[in-house]
Amino acid sequence: MSAWPALLAGVIGLALSACSAPARILGSAPADLPMPAGVEVAFNHRADRHYISPISGERRNGDDLEQLLLETIERAESDIQVAVQELSLPRVAEALVRRQRQGVRVQVVLENTYSTPFSDQVPTGLSSHQLGRYRQLLALADSDRDGRLSISERDRGDALRILRQGRVPIIDDTADGSAGSGLMHHKFMVVDQRWVLTGSANFTASGIHGDPGAPRTRGNVNHLLRFESKELAALFSQEFSRMWGDGPGGLADSRFGITKEQGVCRP
């Protein structure tokens, strides 16, 4: 029995020394699961992939969701339908304008809260949330970092200004004659009635790369999926058509929120 105190002390000492030892992860991360044909998935927060952020110029973990957007736009031969709560990435706007000039039909639906070019807004009239967004977009567009936007910086750095100057047709959720549903939170794009790109990410810097003007931020945790499926594309396109109605300047026949149950969907 006299040996037990010494044995107990040894066990306690071993346990305490183990607690102070540096931790190690044994084994390796699980392999990516095989994806079905025609399905791709990308995550902007993952440790096994890296890219150079176009916002900060720094290397960051994750897949480049913006590049996936641009690649999908570039595939278009006939039409692109975009329905997204917010679009503020200048390169995406430029790509849409370029494809339209090349003969591709481009249509964009936004939520009314985010459908005004930020460079047309007056900061003193904005809410605290809107002011924070304004400052982020200013940092994104302010290429010489002087805190002010020149005309050329407005033209190159304000995504909605780029779309409007490129005459890309845009409506928001006031096109039904209301003050806005506040429910247009879609995040999808249909290309050539063949590809669907959708997921959790708004088409914004903070939603994909991190906040402009704050290089240390990593942005919201988001993903995008790209499907090659005519059947799925037809369903998303039908949803888009319900919201689009007859487009800008037409009748108040766009359908948002609960009014989607009214009227007949256009093919």
Q: Is the pLDDT of residue 147 over 80?
A: no
Q: What's the pTM value of the predicted model, to 2 decimals?
A: 0.80
Q: Considering the domain boundaries, does residue 36 fall inside one?
A: no
CATH of the domain at 141: 3.30.870.10
Query: Which pLDDT score, from 0 to 100, does residue 47 have?
Result: 87
Give residue-wise pLDDT tens across range 173-193: 999 988 888 778 999 999 999
Counted domains in the chain: 1
Q: Is the pLDDT of residue 93 over 90?
A: yes
**Rounded CA separation 141/128 (Å):** 20
Q: Considering the domain boundaries, does residue 51 fall inside one?
A: yes
Q: Within 13 Å and on the Cβ side, how many CA atoms surround 16? A: 6
Q: Considering the domain boundaries, does residue 4 fall inside one?
A: no
Give the model's confidence band at 1: pLDDT under 50 very low, under 70 low, under 90 confident, else very high: very low
Q: Considering the domain boundaries, does residue 27 fall inside one?
A: no
Q: Is the pLDDT of residue 114 over 80?
A: yes
Nearest to 173 by CA among 239, 250, 255, 238: 255
Beta carbons of 222 and 199 less than 8 angstroms apart: yes
Enter the tokens of residue 264: 């007949």
Give the percent of the chain with pLDDT over 70.
76
Q: Considering the domain boundaries, does residue 203 fall inside one?
A: yes
Q: Is the pLDDT of residue 213 over 80?
A: no
Task: Look up the domain containing 226 and give its range.
Answer: 44-261
Q: Considering the domain boundaries, does residue 236 fall inside one?
A: yes
DSSP 203: B
Q: Considering the domain boundaries, does residue 133 fall inside one?
A: yes
What lies within 8 Å, CB to CB, of 252 at 6+ separation is 175, 176, 177, 245
Q: Considering the domain boundaries, does residue 20 fall inside one?
A: no
Give the percent of the chain with pLDDT over 90.
44
How many CB atoms are located within 10 Å of the residue 159 CB? 25
